[in-house]
Structures are given as structure tokens and as C-alpha cells.
Amino acid sequence: MEQYIPKRRGIIIKSIDKYPDVLNVEDIQKILGIGRRQAYELVSSGEFHTVRVGRRIKVFKAVFVSWLYGNDIDYGNN
């Protein structure tokens, strides 16, 4: 049975447990149900800490979930 995370800003999100501990932009896109451009804009916005590995952008799942639930931690964007 699939679990659901409560609504946030009108979005129903499927369980994040099935995703790896380090997310990529495609994972964030699927979790939020947004387009590719929107996902890249989000990870480039500085809303949460991201790590660039070559051309890839990675986000720790814990950091993303913290942001998703509205924690006001300023991770910056290094």
C-alpha cells in the first residue's frame, strides 16, 4: 500500500521513502509533479542546499523534505 505525505500548497505527494537519500532534479520533478524547467528553477533558487557534481545537481533528501515541510533553515547554495 502506497503512503502519502500530507498536502502542502495544494500538492499531494507520494511517499518519498521510495527515493534515494540523494535526489536529482528528475526525482524532485516527480515528487512535486512539476515540469523540468520548474524543477531546475527551484534547485537554482537557493531555497535549499544543492551540490553540483559535474553537470548534475544533487540534493540530500533530508534537506529537501525539511524545505518541503516549511522549515526556515537557510542552506544557501554553494
pLDDT digits (tens, 9 = 90+) for 19-67: 999 999 999 999 999 999 999 999 999 999 999 999 999 999 999 999 9
pLDDT classification of 2: cutoffs 50, 70, 90: very low
DSSP 27-70: HHHHHHT--HHHHHHHHHTTSS--EEETTEEEEEHHHHHHHHTT
Residues 69-73 have a mean pLDDT of 73
* Cα separation, 49 vs 78, whole angstroms: 7
Domain boundaries, the chain: 4-65
**Whether domain 4-65 has CATH 1.10.10:** yes
